[in-house]
Amino acid sequence: KSFLNHTAYLSCYFPNSQKTDIKDLRVFWQKGTDEVVHEVYYGQEKLDNLSPKYINRTKMDMDKWTLQLLNAGIVDEGQYTCIIQHRDKGSPKVIHTSECSLHIIANYSQPEIAWLHTGELKPNEYLNLSCSSSGGYPEPRQMSWLISHGNTTRRLMHHMDVSQDAVTKLYNVTSKLNITVPRNILTNISCFLHLGEQLGSLVSVPLGI
């Protein structure tokens, strides 16, 4: 995983137990089946075969056998393969391959609750709220609302509208809540954006009514 516009680190996982000199090795990275991302040709970086979008965006740390992909973007997501060949009696022989998947993360803004109506709130009328968060990636799992009054708390799952920017590929999300106005009791309403198991959740500032 890498944050958007940061450096992604992709490892070859090559132990080099034979302590082979890099001058006897050809190391290249490819994305999918046809894009060459980086090539170290018997100790020298070689640009001839690179896909144009990776030129000047990669660096290989030969001590750690790790490729640095600079300014990682959403288009860089996908499966990468590291292939290492050894020059053995003149003809190169593959001695190691490994794969890794790159996933890009962009932070969503803190969810924000907005009123969707004007005028005074009256008991037993309907309260219309929306909750929005923007500029994130990947697409979130869901939005939920937490309504607390007295000693009771209930969670409501509502439909989440999702839009994706055609250029940046980042997501904006909105959910709407329509409940009766609480009577004579302080009620706190919060909105949660669930990003998935490993990324956790974001929560809005609670709205007190």
Q: What b/e sequence results for 100-131 when a residue is b if at least 16 CB atoms lie within 10 Å of its CB, and e otherwise? A: bebebbbebeebebeeeeeeeeeeeeebebeb
Does the pLDDT value for residue 123 go beyond 70? Answer: no
Q: Are the beta carbons of 163 and 170 closer than 8 angstroms?
A: no
What 3-state class would DSSP assign to 2? Answer: strand
In order of their start, the domains of the chain are 2-105 (2.60.40.10), 109-208 (2.60.40.10)
Q: What DSSP string describes 43-72? A: TEE--TT--GGGTTSEEEETTTTEEEETT-
What average pLDDT score do residues 43-48 get?
84
DSSP 124: T
Does the pLDDT value for residue 2 go beyond 90? Answer: yes
Q: Which two tokens stand for residue 24?
A: 């006897």
Residues 43 and 166: their CA atoms lie apart, in Å, by 41
- Tell me the per-residue pLDDT of 65-91, one tens digit each, with 9 for 90 and over: 999 999 999 999 999 999 999 887 778
Q: Find, among 29, 30, 31, the residue nearest to 40 by Cα.
A: 29
pLDDT at residue 82, as a whole number: 95
Q: Are the beta carbons of 41 and 29 closer than 8 angstroms?
A: no
* pLDDT above 70 coverage of the chain, percent: 100
Alpha-carbon torsion angle 112, 117, 123, 126, nearest 10:
-80
Residues 6+ apart with CB under 8 A from 161: 173, 174, 175
Confidence of residue 135 (pLDDT cuts 50, 70, 90): very high
Q: Find, among 102, 172, 161, 175, the residue nearest to 137 by Cα.
A: 172
Q: Which pTM does this prediction carry? A: 0.82
